Amino acid sequence: MDRISPPRVRRAIRSLASLFVSFTAGSIRGVERRTPGEVDYRLARQHLISEYRKGRLAQHEVCDAHPELMRAARECAQPSREDCPICEAHKLVLVSYVFGPRLPSFGRCITSAKELKALSKRSGEFSCYVVEVCPSCSWNHLARTFLLNPARSA
């Protein structure tokens, strides 16, 4: 019987292992499936909250929402089930902005899922930015970004 050299064995094992191991976000238990091109900022958020709780950042440094973002949070945001990680007194709201062709340079604030769906049907590449905001203490953080029509823009 021929003996297989150790490097060949290692290569064979690696190629077999790659058939059974998935490196996608969907393969991790508890991670929800997302759209292609989506960027989630949870790690950056957790780091910022951790630094605040350790006393390395003051409240005025993390609760600094722009007045226009606060107006959008009061008037056209979607409610969230999450409490504010800073003041812990109010629920966060989600403000969504879309940027793309034939939209204002400052983006368009989305007020409903219907409006978002209509924009996703238009031609061109549209990016959506979802910001979580506390209407009480002005905490804000970019939650995620994604392409509205990833199949057409690819």
Cβ(107)–Cβ(96) below 8 Å: no
Burial class from Cβ neighbours inside 10 Å (0-12, 13-18, 19+) for residue 143 reads: buried
Q: Specify the pTM.
A: 0.74
Please determine, for residue 96, whether its predicted confidence score (pLDDT) is greater than 70: yes
Which H or E run includes 134?
none
Average pLDDT for 80-93 = 95
> What is the per-residue pLDDT for 28?
47
CB-based contacts of 64, cutoff 8 Å, min separation 6: 138, 140
| pLDDT 10s digits, 6-51 | 666 666 655 555 545 444 445 445 545 566 678 999 999 999 999 9
Q: What CA–CA distances, in Å, run from 145 to 14, 17, 24, 76?
A: 34, 32, 18, 18
